[in-house]
């Protein structure tokens, strides 16, 4: 433990005591939980920051859209609105949050995307039957609702079992909270994942009583916001407002010279910032340069106020998908649960 952890350890002990007491009250039934009827899956993590919950939520949406009506309930981080909202095509990211809006863009006509500070309030307003599957985005610590299945998401590069509780580390609650999960998905795994590392991570999951799966991000071809393509580009201005843009930067560096422009996670872009990005673009050779952003960032960029500015320049979106090792086994576990609830 380094010196900073020694200095912060009293605060970590206090935070551990508070979160442990809260969990004990839930486990003892003193704090009541709303048990969700019908199939429901909570996707969450133990730590603060980005660990890959959104790609997994989107993956599960697409995996079950052929057989179920998907209902997603999210807090809607960073939104300016309050209360319960069911998303429509008229909503923008500032009103409902970037991640819920991204789910909305991928939904089937019968799917529903909801945001609410109170998951219970949102769930109680849903019309549900055996053909509905409820996905709770980032609700692992929201213990007032009890989903039928809990999927824990953990970044392979900083797994929960090596992390420390806030403010010493990034955990929102003690590591033992992972025992509430039915399985864990380690995200952002390297392509050359060794058998030794897999066995080490699987052993930690087994010790806590659940299965471990390993996933990584797959990058699809760039998509122009104007429907065009620029196959001659050699330079990319990469505009990101996500927790960890490094993997995307490394991916694009295989093909382009990348000039990163980083903002904080969930950053609300302004017209002046877009003008500054375009001003920087104008210093490059236009026919050899494109501007790239993530799909989640584009949810915040694609507003009535900003889109006119964007459309005058070659903006591209980098779509991503989730690849899971032993995918048939992973989906079988989830389908078995869903079909019996």
Q: What is the largest CA-CA distance in the chain?
A: 65
Residue 21 inside a domain? The answer is: no
141 burial (CB, 10 Å; 0-12 / 13-18 / 19+) is: middle
* One domain for residues 200 and 245: no
Residue 309 inside a domain? The answer is: yes
Average pLDDT along the chain? 92
Q: pLDDT value at position 216?
A: 94
- What does the block give as tokens for 59? 């993956």
| Measured distance CA(15)–CA(34) in Å, rounded | 25
- Measured in degrees and rounded to the nearest 5, phi and psi for residue 285 equal -75, 115
Q: pLDDT value at position 320?
A: 92
* One domain for residues 153 and 101: yes
The CATH number of the domain where 247 resides is what? 3.40.50
* One domain for residues 257 and 284: yes
pLDDT digits (tens, 9 = 90+) for 184-194: 999 999 989 99
* One domain for residues 331 and 207: yes
* One domain for residues 196 and 265: no
Half-sphere exposure of 204 (CA within 13 A, CB side): 19
* One domain for residues 90 and 171: yes
Residue 5 inside a domain? The answer is: no
Please tell me which residue, 1 or 175, carries the higher pLDDT value: 175
* One domain for residues 53 and 104: yes
* One domain for residues 141 and 46: yes
| Measured distance CA(300)–CA(270) in Å, rounded | 10
Strand extents, DSSP E, 32-182: 34-35, 40-44, 69-74, 85-86, 112-115, 132-137, 145-146, 149-155
Residue 197 inside a domain? The answer is: yes
Residue 24 inside a domain? The answer is: no
Residue 22 inside a domain? The answer is: no
Q: pLDDT value at position 2?
A: 58
Please tell me which residue, 216 or 341, carries the higher pLDDT value: 216
Half-sphere exposure of 170 (CA within 13 A, CB side): 15
Residue 155 inside a domain? The answer is: yes
Q: pLDDT value at position 11?
A: 82
When pLDDT is averaged across residues 161-172 and rounded to a whole number, the result is: 90
* One domain for residues 240 and 282: yes
Confidence class of residue 305 from pLDDT cuts 50, 70 and 90?
confident
* One domain for residues 74 and 156: yes
Residue 186 inside a domain? The answer is: yes
Distant-in-sequence, close-in-space partners of 239: CB < 8 Å, separation ≥ 6 = 261, 263, 277, 291, 292, 293, 297
Among residues of the chain, what percentage have pLDDT more than 70? 97
Q: pLDDT value at position 24?
A: 93
How many domains, in total, are found in the chain? 2
Residue 175's domain comprises 32-218+323-339
* One domain for residues 110 and 176: yes
The CATH number of the domain where 204 resides is what? 3.40.50.300
* One domain for residues 39 and 180: yes
Are 24 and 118 in contact by the 8 Å Cβ rule? The answer is no
């Amino acid at each position: 433990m380094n010196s900073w952890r020694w200095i912060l350890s009293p605060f970590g002990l206090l935070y551990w005591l508070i979160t442990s007491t809260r969990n004990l009250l839930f486990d003892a039934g003193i704090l009541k939980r709303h048990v969700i009827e019908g199939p429901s899956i909570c996707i969450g993590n133990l730590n603060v920051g980005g660990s890959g919950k959104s790609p997994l939520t989107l993956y599960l949406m697409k995996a079950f859209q052929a057989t179920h009506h998907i209902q997603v309930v999210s807090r809607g981080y960073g939104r300016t609105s309050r209360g319960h909202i069911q998303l429509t095509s008229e909503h923008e990211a500032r009103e409902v949050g970037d991640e819920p809006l991204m789910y909305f863009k991928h939904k089937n006509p019968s799917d529903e995307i909801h945001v609410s500070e109170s998951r219970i309030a949102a769930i109680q307003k849903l019309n549900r039957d055996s053909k509905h599957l409820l996905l709770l985005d980032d609700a692992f610590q929201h213990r007032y609702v009890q989903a039928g299945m809990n999927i824990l998401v953990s970044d392979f590069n900083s797994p929960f079992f090596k992390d420390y509780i806030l403010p010493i580390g990034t955990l929102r609650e003690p590591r033992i909270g992972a025992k509430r999960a039915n399985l864990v998905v380690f995200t952002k795994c390297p392509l050359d994942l060794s058998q030794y590392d897999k066995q080490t991570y699987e052993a930690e999951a087994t010790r806590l009583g659940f299965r471990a799966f390993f996933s990584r991000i797959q990058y699809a071809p760039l998509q122009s916001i104007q429907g065009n393509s620029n196959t001659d580009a050699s330079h990319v201005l990469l505009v990101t407002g996500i927790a960890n843009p490094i993997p995307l930067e490394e991916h694009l560096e295989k093909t382009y010279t990348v000039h990163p422009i980083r903002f904080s996670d969930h950053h609300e872009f302004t017209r002046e910032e877009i003008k500054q990005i375009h001003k920087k673009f104008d210093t490059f050779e236009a026919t050899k340069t494109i501007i790239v952003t993530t799909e989640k960032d584009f949810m915040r960029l694609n507003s009535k106020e900003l889109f006119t500015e964007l459309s005058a320049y070659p903006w591209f979106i980098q779509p991503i998908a989730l690849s899971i090792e032993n995918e048939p086994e992973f989906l079988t576990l989830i389908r078995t649960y869903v079909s019996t609830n």
